[in-house]
Amino acid sequence: MTMKKAALLTLTAALATLAACSKPEPPNIGYAPYDKGYQSKMDLAQVDYKYPIPPAELAKITPDYLAKLEQEQLDQLYARLAAGPIPDGAFDGRILLPRGESGKFRLTEIVGGFSGTLLHLKGLVIEDIGEALWRGKVFYRDERVLRNRIEDLSILKKMGLVEGEPKKMQYGGKETWLLFPAKLYCGQSLLDARRESIIIDYFFTDEIPGYQESPDYLAGRRGLKVRDEIRMIRPGFYLGRAYLDRGFALNFTLYDKATDERLRDEFVKTGQVQEDCWPGTQARITVASSKP
Stretch that binds other proteins, among 77-85, 91-99, 130-138, 169-177 (CB under 8 A): 77-85
Distances (CA, A) of 226 to 105, 127, 202, 229: 21, 13, 6, 10
The verdict on 192 binding other proteins (CB under 8 A) reads: yes
Q: Does 141 help bind other proteins (rule: CB under 8 A)?
A: no
Residues 207-226, mask of contacts with other proteins (x by CB under 8 A): ------xx--xx--xxxx--
Pick the closer one to other proteins by CB: 163 or 175: 163
Closest contact distance (angstroms) between CB of 4 and other proteins is 53
Rounded Cα distance between 240 and 153, Å, is 23
Using CB under 8 A as the binding rule, the residues of this chain from 56 to 75 that contact other proteins are 58, 71-72, 75
235 binds other proteins (CB under 8 A): no
Give CB contacts under 8 A, 24+ apart, made by 225-228: 225/113, 225/114, 225/115, 226/180, 226/182, 226/202, 227/190, 227/199, 227/200, 227/201, 227/202, 227/203, 228/182, 228/199, 228/200, 228/201, 228/252
Candidates 5-13, 14-22, 89-97, 121-129; binding stretch for other proteins (CB under 8 A) = 121-129
Rounded CA separation 203/194 (Å) = 24
Write out the binding residues for other proteins, residues 159-188 only, by CB under 8 A. 161, 183-188
> Which residues, 15 to 44, sit near other proteins by CB under 8 A?
36-39, 41, 43-44
- CA 35 to chain CA centroid, Å, is 24
Residue closer to other proteins (CB basis): 44 or 178: 44
